[in-house]
C-alpha cells in the first residue's frame, strides 16, 4: 500500500519533470514566433529541471530496472556465483554513491555558505542544487534494497532494461488487434485524417 | 629541503590561439622561467576543466586557482561589476583602460572579496558591435527584433530600451540560431564575430562600439591569502606582463578581424554618423539610471570621466 | 599506468554486470583520486554541470518522448498501408513495401527494435501468407529495421553529437542519403531475388486509394517534416525542434490517430453526422481531452516509458562526460593518436581498425553506450588524421546498425525471434545474407565520404557558406 503510493509518487514526479521541460521549451518557441517575446528564465529553469530529472530518476531506474548494462557474461555463471558477483557489483555501486554523496555534500555546503542566487531567478543556488545530495541518498537506498534482495535470494542481478523486450509489447498489442481480425488493409478505414 | 611547487590550474573556455589563450600561455612561460620549482602553472583551454558557469564554483572549492570569465559572469557575485555592461559608457578601449587602471577600477578588483574571490587584473576582448539580419542605423531599426544576449540584467535592459527582444541563449547555439534566422541579431566584438563566423550568417554589422567585452582574471581569496608574499608579488608581476601581452594581441586581432570581415564581403559593415549615434545613446542611456543604485552613481561618474 | 587503471576498472565493472553509467563514473572517479589532486567536491560539481549545463542534450528526452507517442502499432499500420499501396504492385512488392514501411517508421521513431516489432509483426505474417519464405521475410525486416538509427531523427546521432560536440543538425542531414540508399539497396536486392524465385506482386490499388493512404500516413510523417523543416527552415534549434516534435507527437497520437488516450475509439465523423456538427463535436472533445490526458493511463504510460529511457540515457551521458574529462585531462586520446601517427597508420587503415573495434563492441553492448565510450577516444585521433567528424559519425552509426544484428547481444535478432517464434540460430541464418549486404554498405560509407557529406555540404552551399 505505502510502497505502491511511493511508486506512484516517483512516477508522477518523473513524468511531471519531463512534461514541464518539454512544455517550457515549446513555450519558448511559441513565445518567440507567436508573440515576438522571450521567457528570460526559461532556459535556466529547463536545465535545472533536467538535472532533477536525471538525478532523481537514477534511483527509480535502479528500482524498476531501467538502467542498461552488460550481463551476458555473469548470466553464464552458476547461480550462486552470479549472486556473489552481483553483491560485489552492488557494493561497488555503493562506493560510487558514497564518494559522490560526500563530494556533493561539501559542494552544497560551500554554495550555501557563499550564498549566491540563480542567474535569472531570486532563489539561492544551493536549493535547486540539493538534488545532488537527495539523488545520491535515494540511490544508496535503492542499492541497499537490491543488495538485500540478492542476499535473501529474491534477485540475482540488476535486472537491466531490455529494449527488445519492450519492443515486443508493440508486437503483442498488434498481434491481438490486427492479426486477430486479419488483413492490414482494413486498418486504413479506422483511422482517417 | 624543497617543498612541492604551488600548483596554479588556469582554466579557460577558449582556444589557445585566442588573446586569452595566448595570455594564459605567456603567464605560464613567465612563471616557469622566474619561479621554477616554486610555482607551477597548468593551463586548461577549451572548457577542458570547467565551463564559464561553473569555474568560479570550482575555484571556491579549491580545484581551480585561476580563471578569466567575462565581467558579465560576476553578476551574482557583485552588482558593481555590472558597470562594464552599461551601454555607451566608454567611447573606446583607451577609455576602458584608463578607467580600469585608475583608482576606481583597481578598487573594483576587490569587489568580489566577500564572496571569496580576488580580482587580479582586467583582460580585453574589445568593443562590442551590433550584427543583424537587417541594417541597424537608428534605434528604431532594432525595434521588435530578437537579439541574443549573455545572461546579464544590464544587457537585457539595454535591448529593452530600444524595444528589441533580448533572448538569453548559450554561446554555442548562437550560430545555428542566427543561421536559421530564429533570432535576428546579436552583439559581440569583432574577434568573436569573426572566429565564430557570425559574419557569414549576418548580412549587416553596425560598428556601434556601444559596449565593452572584457574579462576579469580571478583567483580564490583562500588560495591568494595562503601564498607567500614574495611569491604573490612575482605572480602578480608575471600576470600583469601576460595581460599586457594578451591585450596587445586583442587590439591587433580586433583590427585584423574587422578587416577580414570587410574583405569577406559576406557582411556589410555600417558606420554611424554622429547624429545617428546620438540617437542610440539617447535611447540606451536610461539604462544607466536604472542600475545606478546597484552600481553606485559615483562609480559611473568616474567611468564617464575616463572618456576625457 | 593511468590508461591501464581507467580501462581495467571500466571493463572490470562492466564485466561483473554493473550498470554502464556507474561503471563509467566509478572508473573515472577512481582514476581521478589516484592520479590527480581534484577533490570529490569538484567531481560532484562536474557531474552536476554534466546534467544541468547542456541545453543541446535535451533534444534526447524530447525526441524519445515524441517517438514513444508515435511508436504504436496504429502508426505502423497506417505506414504499412501507404507503403503497400505505393510499391506493392512491383514484383516482390510486399517485401519492398516492408522495407519502405521500415524507412517511414524509422523517420518517426528513433528506435530500431521498435521498428522491427511494429512493422515486422504485420509484414512478416503478411508476406508468409502471400507465399514468401518466412526466413526471407524475417531477414528483410530485421535488416531494414536497423534504419531507425540512420534515418533522422536518431537518438544515436544525438548521443554522438553530445559526445563529440559535432552539430546534431548536420548529423541528421548526413544520415538522410545513406538511409535512403540503404533502403534502396535492400529493395533492389529484393527485386532481384523476387525475379529469380518468382515471388508475387500485389494488385495496384489505384491512385485514389494511394492518395488516401498517403494522406493518412502523412499525419505521422509530418513529424520528420516538422523536425527537419524547423531546423533548416529557420524556426528552431534541434532541442527546440525536438520539443515541438514531442508536443506534435502527443497531438497526432491522442487527437489525430486516437490510438491511445481519452479519445480512443471516437470517430472523426459518425455515420449520418453532417460535417459542421462533426467539426464542432471534435473541437469540443479535443479541448476536453487535454485535461483528461493527465489522468489517462495510456498517456501516462507513454510518458513514464519515455522518462525511463531518457533518464537512463542522460545518466549514462553525465557519467560518460566525467569519463571524457579524465580522457582529456590525462591526454589519453592524444597519446594514442601520437602512437598511431608514429606507426604511420593512414586514415583508411585507421578506419578499418575503427570498424573492427566497433563491430566487436557491437556484439556485447548497446549503441549509445558504445558511442559514449568510443567516441571520445576515436574522435580526437580521427581529427588528427584529417577525417571529417560528420563522416566518422555516420560510420559509427552504420556500425551500430550492424551490431543490432550480431549475436550474442543483437536487439533486432531478439525481436525477430520473438515475433516469428523461431529460435536464435534460425534468425541469425535468416539475417545473414542481408547482413552481408549491410557490411558491403559499411565499406561503401567508410570509403566514399561524399555519400554522407554531400547533403550537409550542399545545404551549406545553398546558404552560401
Ligand atoms: Na530515426
Ligand atoms: Na550485437
Q: What are the CA-CA distances from residue A17 to residues A11, A59, A68, C314 (Å)? A: 10, 15, 22, 14
Instruction: Verify cis geometry, omega within 30 degrees of 0, for the bond prior to C153.
Output: yes
Distance A68 CA to ligand 2 centre (A): 15
Rounded distance from Cα C110 to ligand 1 centre (Å): 4
Of B285, B253, B141, nearest to B206 by C-alpha is B141
Count the neighbouring beta carbons within 10 Å of the beta carbon of residue A125.
20
The verdict on A106 touching B (C-beta cutoff 8 Å) is yes
Distance of CA C202 to the CA centre of its chain: 30
Decide: C74 and C257 in contact? Cβ < 8 Å.
Answer: yes
Interchain CB distance below 8 Å, A171 and C118 = yes
Ligand nearest to the CA of C405: 2
C113: Cβ contacts below 8 Å, ≥ 6 apart: A163, A164, A166, A167, C145, C404, C411, C412, C414, C415
Question: Which helix or strand (DSSP H or E) is residue B156 part of?
Answer: helix B153-160
Q: Cis link prior to C408 (omega < 30° from 0)? A: yes
The span from the CA of B74 to the CA of B115, in Å, is 10
The C-alpha atoms of residue B224 and residue B93 are separated, in whole angstroms, by: 29
Q: What is the DSSP letter of B80?
A: G
Predicted confidence (pLDDT) per residue in B140-185, tens digit:
999 999 999 988 899 999 999 999 999 888 777 788 788 877 789 9
C154 vs C138: CA distance, rounded Å: 23
Length, in residues, of chain A: 193
pLDDT tens per residue across span C180-222: 999 999 999 988 988 888 877 777 778 888 888 888 878 777 8
Residues in chain B: 308
Q: What is the CA radius of gyration of chain A?
A: 22
Of B116, B167, B182, the CB nearest to A114: B116
Q: Give the mean pLDDT of chain B.
A: 90
Region A44-73: mean pLDDT is: 91
Pairing of strands B117-132, B185-189: antiparallel
Question: Which of A36, A44, A106 is closest, CB to CB, to B165?
Answer: A36
Distance from CA of B60 to the nearest CA of C (A): 10
C-alpha dist (Å) from residue A56 to B17, B213, C299: 41, 38, 21
Distance from residue C7's CA to the centre of ligand 2 (Å):
21
Fill in the DSSP letter of residue B11. Answer: E
DSSP calls for C60-86: HHHHHHHHHHH-SHHHHHHHHHHHHHH
Indicate yes or no: CB of C44 within 8 angstroms of CB of A192: no
Residues 6+ away with beta carbon under 8 Å from C244: A26, A29, C226, C227, C230, C236
* Phi, psi angle pair for C19, to nearest 5°: -55, 140
Beta bridge partners of B41: B8
- For residue range A151-176, what is the model confidence (pLDDT) as tens digits? 998 888 887 777 777 787 777 777 77
pLDDT above 90 coverage of chain B, percent: 60
**Contact at CB, A36 and B144, closer than 8 angstroms:** yes
Confidence bin at A45 (pLDDT 50/70/90):
very high
pLDDT of residue C172: 87
What is the mean predicted confidence (pLDDT) over C68-92? 81
The mean-pLDDT minimum among B9-13, C369-373, C433-437, C440-444 falls in: C369-373
Query: How far is it, in rounded angstroms, from Cα C424 to Cα C428?
Result: 6
Q: Which of residues 117-156 of B touch A (CB under 8 A)?
A: 144, 146, 151, 156
The length of chain C is 465
The rounded distance, in Å, linking the Cα atoms of B91 and C322 is 44
**Does the CB of B167 have a partner CB in chain A at under 8 Å?**
yes
Instruction: Look at A39 and A141; give whichever has higher pLDDT.
Output: A141
Q: How does DSSP classify residue B5? A: P
Average pLDDT over residues C24-43: 91
Q: Which pLDDT tens digit goes with each residue over C83-100?
A: 888 888 888 888 888 898
Q: Which of C386, C395, C324 shows the shortest CA–CA distance to C357?
A: C395
* Residue B62 forms contact with A (CB below 8 Å): no
Chain A residues whose CB is inside 8 A of the B166 CB are 38, 40
pTM beyond cutoff 0.80: yes
Among A25, A28, A37, A38, the residue to mutate for chain B (most B Cβ within 10 A):
A38
Strands (E), B181-267: 185-189, 204-220
Helices H / strands E in chain C, number of each: 21, 0
Tell me phi and psi for residue C170, to 5 degrees. -70, -35
Q: Which residues of A touch B183 (CB under 8 A)?
A: 32
**Cβ of A32 under 8 Å from any chain B Cβ?**
yes
pLDDT at C304: 92
- A181 pLDDT higher than 80: no
CA C284 to chain centre: 37
Q: What three-state secondary structure class fits B307?
A: coil
Q: Say what the pLDDT of residue A55 is.
A: 96
Judged on CB neighbours under 10 Å (0-12, 13-18, 19+), C357 is: middle
C74 or C127, greater pLDDT? C127
Q: How far is CA C213 from CA C85, C90, C252, C363, in A?
A: 7, 18, 16, 39
Mean pLDDT in residue range C36-48: 90
Task: Look at A43 and B146 and tell me if their CB atoms are within 8 Å.
Answer: no
pLDDT at A177: 67
Q: Does A110 touch chain B (CB under 8 A)?
A: yes
- Mean pLDDT of all residues belonging to chain C: 86
The H-or-E segment that residue C251 falls in is: none
Sign of CA dihedral B186, B187, B190, B195: negative
Distance CA C173, CA C177 (A): 8
| B38 DSSP assignment | T
Backbone angles phi, psi at B144, to 5 degrees: 80, -5
Query: What digits encode the pLDDT tens for the residues C254-295?
Result: 888 888 888 888 888 888 888 888 888 888 888 888 888 888
Q: Near ion ligand 1, which residues have CB within 5 Å?
A: C 106, 110, 148, 151, 154
Least confident window among A103-112, B36-45, B54-63, C320-329:
C320-329
CA distance A173 to A159: 24
Expressed in angstroms, the distance from the first to the final Cα of chain B is 55
Select the residue from A34, A167, A185, A189 to test the C interface by mutation, using most C Cβ atoms within 10 A. A167
d(CA C266, CA C270) in angstroms, rounded, equals 9
* SS3 assignment, position B148: strand
What CA–CA distance (Å, rounded) separates A158 from C18? 7
Q: Which H/E stretch holds residue B142?
A: none
Nearest to C182 by CA among C420, C441, C369: C441
Q: Is B168 on the interface with A (CB under 8 A)?
A: yes
Mean pLDDT of C156-176: 87
Select from C121, C311, C316 the Cβ nearest to the Cβ of A53.
C311
Which chains pack against C, by 3+ Cβ pairs within 8 A? A, B
SS3 assignment, position A134: helix
CB-CB under 8 Å, A191 with C258: yes
Closest C-alpha among B140, B141, B19, B119 to residue B67: B119
Instruction: Tell me the pLDDT band of C78, cut-offs 50, 70 and 90.
Output: confident
Q: What is the DSSP string of B157-204?
A: HHHHTTT-EEEE--HHHHHHHHHTTSS-EEEEEHHHHHHTTHHHH-SE
Across C383-395, average pLDDT: 90
CA B42 to chain centre: 22
* H-assigned helices in C233-346: 238-250, 275-295, 297-329, 332-343
The CA-based dihedral angle spanning residues B64, A58, A66, C245, taken in that order and rounded to the nearest 10 degrees:
-80
Amino acid at each position: 500500500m505505502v510502497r505502491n503510493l511511493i511508486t506512484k509518487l516517483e512516477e508522477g514526479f518523473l513524468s511531471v519533470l519531463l512534461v514541464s521541460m518539454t512544455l517550457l521549451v515549446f513555450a519558448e518557441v511559441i513565445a518567440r514566433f507567436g508573440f515576438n517575446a522571450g521567457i528570460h528564465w526559461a532556459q535556466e529553469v529547463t536545465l535545472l529541471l533536467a538535472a532533477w530529472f536525471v538525478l532523481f530518476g537514477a534511483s527509480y531506474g535502479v528500482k524498476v530496472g531501467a538502467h542498461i548494462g552488460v550481463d551476458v557474461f555473469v548470466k553464464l555463471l552458476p547461480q550462486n556465483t552470479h549472486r556473489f558477483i552481483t553483491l560485489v557489483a552492488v557494493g561497488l555501486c555503493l562506493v560510487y554513491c558514497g564518494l559522490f554523496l560526500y563530494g556533493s555534500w561539501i559542494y552544497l555546503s560551500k554554495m550555501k555558505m557563499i550564498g549566491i542566487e540563480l542567474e535569472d531567478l531570486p532563489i539561492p543556488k544551493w536549493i535547486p542544487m540539493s538534488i545532488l545530495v537527495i539523488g545520491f541518498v535515494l540511490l544508496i537506498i535503492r542499492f541497499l534494497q537490491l543488495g538485500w534482495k540478492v542476499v535473501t535470494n529474491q534477485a540475482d542481478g540488476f535486472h537491466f532494461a531490455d529494449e527488445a523486450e519492450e519492443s515486443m509489447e508493440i508486437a503483442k498489442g498488434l498481434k491481438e488487434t490486427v492479426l486477430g481480425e486479419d488483413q492490414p488493409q482494413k486498418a486504413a478505414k479506422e483511422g482517417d485524417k | 629541503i624543497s617543498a612541492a611547487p604551488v600548483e596554479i590550474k588556469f582554466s579557460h573556455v577558449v582556444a589557445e590561439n585566442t588573446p586569452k589563450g595566448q595570455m594564459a600561455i605567456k603567464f605560464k612561460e613567465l612563471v616557469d622561467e622566474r619561479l621554477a620549482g616554486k610555482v607551477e602553472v597548468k593551463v586548461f583551454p577549451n572548457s577542458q576543466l570547467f565551463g564559464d558557469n561553473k569555474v568560479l564554483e570550482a575555484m571556491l572549492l579549491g580545484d581551480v586557482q585561476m580563471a578569466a570569465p567575462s565581467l558579465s559572469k560576476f553578476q551574482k557575485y557583485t552588482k558593481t561589476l555590472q558597470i562594464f555592461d552599461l551601454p555607451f559608457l566608454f567611447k573606446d578601449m583607451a577609455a576602458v583602460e584608463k578607467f580600469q587602471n585608475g583608482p576606481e577600477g583597481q578598487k573594483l578588483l576587490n569587489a568580489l572579496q566577500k564572496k571569496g574571490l580576488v580580482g587580479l587584473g582586467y583582460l580585453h576582448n574589445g568593443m562590442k558591435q551590433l550584427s543583424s539580419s537587417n541594417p541597424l542605423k537608428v534605434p528604431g531599426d532594432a525595434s521588435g527584433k530578437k537579439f541574443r544576449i549573455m545572461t546579464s540584467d544590464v544587457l537585457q535592459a539595454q535591448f529593452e530600451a530600444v524595444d528589441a527582444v533580448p533572448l538569453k541563449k548559450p554561446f554555442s547555439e548562437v550560430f545555428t540560431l542566427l543561421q536559421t534566422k530564429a533570432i535576428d541579431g546579436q552583439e559581440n566584438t569583432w574577434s568573436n564575430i569573426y572566429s565564430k563566423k557570425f559574419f557569414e550568417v549576418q548580412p549587416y554589422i553596425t560598428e556601434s562600439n556601444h559596449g565593452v567585452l572584457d574579462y576579469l582574471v580571478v583567483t580564490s581569496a583562500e588560495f591568494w591569502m595562503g601564498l607567500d608574499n614574495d611569491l604573490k608579488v612575482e605572480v602578480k608581476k608575471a600576470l600583469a606582463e601576460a595581460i599586457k601581452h594578451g591585450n596587445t594581441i586583442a587590439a591587433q586581432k580586433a583590427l585584423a578581424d574587422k578587416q577580414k570581415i570587410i574583405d569577406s564581403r559576406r557582411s556589410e559593415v555600417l558606420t554611424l554618423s554622429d547624429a545617428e549615434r546620438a540617437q542610440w545613446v539617447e535611447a540606451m542611456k536610461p539604462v544607466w539610471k536604472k542600475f545606478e543604485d546597484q552600481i553606485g552613481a559615483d562609480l559611473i561618474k568616474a567611468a564617464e570621466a575616463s572618456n576625457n | 599506468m593511468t590508461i591501464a587503471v581507467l580501462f581495467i576498472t571500466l571493463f572490470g565493472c562492466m564485466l561483473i554486470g554493473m550498470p554502464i553509467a556507474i561503471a563509467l563514473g566509478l572508473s573515472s572517479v577512481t582514476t581521478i583520486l589516484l592520479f590527480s589532486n581534484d577533490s570529490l567536491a569538484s567531481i560532484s560539481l562536474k557531474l552536476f554541470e554534466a546534467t544541468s549545463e547542456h541545453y543541446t542534450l535535451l533534444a534526447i528526452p524530447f525526441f524519445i518522448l515524441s517517438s514513444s507517442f508515435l511508436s504504436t502499432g496504429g502508426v505502423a499500420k497506417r505506414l504499412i498501408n501507404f507503403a503497400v499501396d505505393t510499391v506493392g504492385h512491383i514484383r516482390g512488392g510486399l517485401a519492398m513495401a516492408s522495407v519502405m514501411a521500415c524507412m517511414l517508421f524509422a523517420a518517426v521513431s528513433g528506435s530500431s527494435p521498435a521498428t522491427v516489432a511494429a512493422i515486422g509483426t504485420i509484414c512478416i505474417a503478411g508476406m508468409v501468407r502471400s507465399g514468401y519464405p518466412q526466413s526471407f521475410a524475417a531477414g528483410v525486416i530485421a535488416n531494414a529495421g536497423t534504419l531507425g538509427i540512420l534515418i533522422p531523427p536518431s537518438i544515436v546521432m544525438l548521443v554522438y553529437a553530445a559526445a563529440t560536440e559535432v552539430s546534431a543538425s548536420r548529423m541528421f542531414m548526413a544520415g538522410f542519403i545513406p538511409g535512403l540508399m540503404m533502403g534502396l539497396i535492400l529493395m533492389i536486392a529484393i527485386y532481384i531475388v523476387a525475379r529469380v524465385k518468382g515471388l508475387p506482386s500485389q494488385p495496384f490499388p489505384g491512385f485514389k486509394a494511394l492518395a488516401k493512404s498517403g494522406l493518412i500516413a502523412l499525419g505521422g510523417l509530418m513529424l520528420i517534416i516538422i523536425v527537419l523543416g524547423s531546423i533548416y527552415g529557420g524556426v528552431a534549434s534541434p532541442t527546440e525542434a525536438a520539443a515541438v516534435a514531442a508536443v506534435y507527437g502527443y497531438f497526432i497520437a491522442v487527437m489525430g490517430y486516437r490510438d491511445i488516450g481519452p479519445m480512443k475509439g471516437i470517430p472523426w465523423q459518425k455515420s449520418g453526422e453532417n460535417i459542421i456538427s462533426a467539426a464542432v463535436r471534435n473541437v469540443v472533445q479535443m479541448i476536453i481531452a487535454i485535461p483528461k490526458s493527465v489522468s489517462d493511463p495510456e498517456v501516462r504510460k507513454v510518458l513514464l516509458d519515455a522518462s525511463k529511457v531518457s533518464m537512463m540515457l542522460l545518466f549514462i551521458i553525465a557519467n560518460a562526460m566525467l569519463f571524457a574529462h579524465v580522457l582529456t585531462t590525462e591526454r589519453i586520446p592524444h597519446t594514442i593518436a601520437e602512437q598511431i601517427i608514429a606507426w604511420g597508420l593512414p586514415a583508411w587503415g585507421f578506419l578499418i581498425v575503427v570498424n573492427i573495434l566497433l563491430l566487436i563492441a557491437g556484439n556485447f553492448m548497446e549503441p549509445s553506450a558504445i558511442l559514449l565510450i568510443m567516441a571520445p577516444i576515436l574522435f580526437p585521433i580521427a581529427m588528427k588524421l584529417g577525417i571529417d567528424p560528420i563522416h566518422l559519425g555516420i560510420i559509427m552509426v552504420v556500425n551500430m546498425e550492424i551490431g543490432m544484428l550480431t549475436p550474442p547481444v543483437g536487439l533486432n535478432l531478439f525481436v525477430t525471434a520473438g515475433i516469428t517464434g523461431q529460435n536464435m540460430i534460425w534468425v541469425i541464418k535468416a539475417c545473414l545474407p542481408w547482413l552481408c549486404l549491410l557490411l558491403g554498405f559499411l565499406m561503401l560509407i567508410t570509403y566514399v565520404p561524399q555519400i554522407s557529406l554531400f547533403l550537409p555540404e550542399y545545404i551549406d552551399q545553398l546558404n552560401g557558406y
